[in-house]
Structure formats: C-alpha cells, structure tokens
Amino acid sequence: MADIQPFRALRYDLQRVSASQVVTQPYDKITPAMQERYYAASPYNLVRIILGRREGGDNGQNNVYTRAAEYGRKWRAEGIFRQDSEPSIYVYSQTFAAPSGSRFARRGFIAVGRVEDYSAKVVFRHEQTLSKPKADRLDLLRSTRAHYEQLFLLYEDSGEIDSLLSPAANAPGAIEVDDEYGVAHQLWQISDPAVIASVQKKMRDKKLVIADGHHRYETAFTFRDECRTAAGETSKPDAPYEFVMMTFVNMNDPGLLVLPTHRVVHSLRSFSADEFQKSASRFFDVEEVNADLNADRATALLRERGRAGTALLAVTANRAFLLHSPKPTGAQFLAGFSPRQRALDVVQLHKCLLEGVLKLSEESIRNQQNLSYLRDASEALEQVRNGNANVAFLMNPCPVAQVRDVAFAGEVMPQKSTDFYPKLLSGLTVYALE
C-alpha cells in the first residue's frame, strides 16, 4: 500500500526573497550557463545546494556537498527558509504551452511517501539507472540530510483525489512563479486533517510509477538502509529517513504530457548513409524522404506513421530515412525482451540500430560516448546538417499507457526513454530530515 504522509515543509520566506530568483529547474536539467545565471540571480538561489560550483581547492572537508550543507544550515538560521507550523500537503499546479503551442494545465500534490523496495510492488520504476548520478545524489543527501527536490510519481484514478484538492486551488496560491520556459507554477498549502486523511485513504491502494527521479529514489532507499544500519534497527517505521518528498500526479490528468527524447550519434570512426540504409533495411522497411524536412514536417511524418506501430526517422547531413514495420530479423537483438518491451520504439532503436547497425556497445551507450540526447528536434537536425554529428534519430513520444504497463510488469526501458514535460520546479518545498 502507498503510505503518504503530510510534512512540515521548509519554504523560502517570500518576504525576504523573490521566488523567481531562488527556484530552479531540477539539478539534472541545469546546464553550465543556467548554473551561472542562477548564481547571479540571488545569493540564496537553490542551485548553491543542489548543483554547486566545484572549486580548485576542494577536498574532503570543503567541497560541493559540505558547502551545500552549510548553505542549508545558514539559510535556516537566517530565516530565509522557514518551516511550516503544521503538517501539510501541498497542491501543485503547472500551466504551460507545449512545444506544439497547445496550452495545458497539470495538477498534483506534494507529500512525503514511504521509501519502498521495488520488491514490495508499491513503487515501480520504468527506466534503468546509472551509478554515477546516484553516487553524486547520495553524497549530497548524506551531507545535507534534506530532500530539496521532489520526485515525480504517477498514480491512477478517475479524478477522486483531485476533487478533494480542488477547493484549495480556488484561493490565492502560497507561491506563484513563472519559470524561464514560461511555465506558471502555483502552490497551495493544505493543513486540514480531514482533507489530508481523505487523500491518504484514497492513495492507500495505489500503485506508484516513477515518472522522473529514478536516481534520487534509489538514492533514498540506499540512504534509508544506511540510516537503519547506523541506528542498529531493521526498520523504524516513522523515522524521517523512511520517507522521501514526492509530487503525485494522476496518470489520467489531461495535462500529463510526455515528449520524445531524440538520439544524436556523433564521432563515429566511419559512417556512410548508403551503408546505414542498407544495414537498417535488414531490420525495418526503409523509405527515403525529403532530406530538407524541418522539425514540424519530421514530427508530422512520425506521428502519421506511428499510428500503425514503430516509426523512427534517421537524418544524416543530406539524407533522411523513415524506418517502420520491424522485420523478424531483429529478433536476434531483442532476445530476452518481453513483447511489451519489443513493442517500444526506443528498444527497437537501441537494440537494432544503435547496437545492430552502428555497432555501439551497451556500455558506450550508457556512458554516452558517441551519443547525446535532445528534446528539440530542430537542434538534432541542426547538429547533423552542420557536421557535428553523423546521424540523428527522431522519435515519437512514448504513451503513458506503455510506461505504466512496462513498469507494472517489473520491466524497464533504456535510460531517457521518457521526457515528462514540464519538469517539477525545485525550491517550492524542502523535506528536512532533522
């Protein structure tokens, strides 16, 4: 069962700071240029904690993690962070324009959820994780003993939970801020024990799917196990380290938008568009299309062909190929995958094309040695056309239903298979363990 609890969040005192100058995108979406901009925005910008600058003299006693912990202590002491007086859950709304220009609104709520082993079949992952990001987040959590960013979890119902939370959203938000992408974020605090109890009851039988935050979730249960060992206990059910801060969103929310993450392959020792076309034809029907297509045309082609199943678009410097209708010859690369996984475009791409045709190893793909990931199709096209990449693979987004089905089956997709948009803003609430 999903154990959801209210908590007394640390929040920025908006009498002391402006929300727009202190909140950030999630740590793994912050580019070096964004980091510099955040540093310049305010001495209290959260980037100093979640993704601080590394310095030449860093050592075991003075480094990004110890500085993050010191910022957290100092800002609490100065009253920049203030702790809410009552245990609460927090309604969180995002209003935004999709890259297509269509307007959406998505609403969920922030609470703390019990850290569950995957074997308990309460929390389900859908993507593979990498060891390096987990080690980084674990060092940060050990130092700060606080969760400064929310995990993004999905549940499923027909709107009952949202109806419990809706009345709060009729009042002015406790926080209202627009981010650099034009997304309007609003937060409302709910401290009414009766409402909280009703939400907890409705959530009790839910299965939860991690949408974003796989690395931080696995970091949380590693940290939990460390704390249990240090305390000499197998489990202390109400200990703060048994929980992690989460935003919960209904899978059926019409504002739950998944964008594709395109793959760009670069720095190959040799690459020939002719050879690629010939080799890819072993695994797919390959249609050559207008090489001058733009991102809008590419998206339309993929959407149209994708209605019938797998569809991928491979674009080189002066050629473009629409790949569809997978052939049985791909079975050698898909051995060990379930029918659910084999139906995923991203699995077909990774196994048949990246590994089978381009001969990239699983390890090199994990380490992104010849591979980069881009949300923007225009940017992917530009990279191959200006000679900075060999081939770009454009994709359709993965439907939420596929994410759910793969996760509930205990299976995973390749990393960066989904891009839930927009990201959750960091700095709206903080869950301090002490």
Q: What is the pLDDT of residues 242-286, one digit of tens each?
A: 999 999 999 999 999 999 999 999 999 999 999 999 999 999 999
The ranges assigned to domains in the chain are 4-10+82-257+421-432, 261-396
Q: Which residue has the tokens 């005192």?
A: 13
Per the CB < 8 A criterion, the answer to whether 47 and 25 are in contact is: no
Q: Are 79 and 13 in contact (CB under 8 A)?
A: yes
Bridging pattern class, strands 103-114 and 243-250: antiparallel
* Residue given tokens 């969760």 in the structure block: 147
Residues 91-119 pLDDT 10s = 999 999 988 889 999 999 999 999 999 99
Distance CA 255, CA 94 (A): 9
Which residue ranges of the chain lie beneath pLDDT 50?
A: none
Query: Burial letters for 8-19: b for 16+ Cβ neighbours within 10 Å, e otherwise?
Result: ebbbbeeeebeb
Helix or strand (DSSP H, E) at 37: helix 32-41
Residue 371: other Cβ atoms inside 10 A: 21
H or E element in which residue 218 lies: helix 214-231
Closest listed residue to residue 209, CA positions, set 50, 373, 429, 417: 417
Q: What does pTM read for this prediction?
A: 0.93
Look at residue 4 in the predicted model and tell me its pLDDT.
97
Query: Which tokens hold the place of 197?
Result: 């109890």
Dihedral in degrees, nearest 10, Cα atoms 165, 167, 171, 174: -10
Q: So what's the pLDDT on residue 233?
A: 75
Q: Which amino acid is present at 343?
A: A
Name the β-bridge partners of 104.
96
Note the pLDDT tens digit of each residue in 404-428. Answer: 999 999 999 988 899 999 999 999 9
Q: Which fold has domain 261-396?
A: 3.30.1760
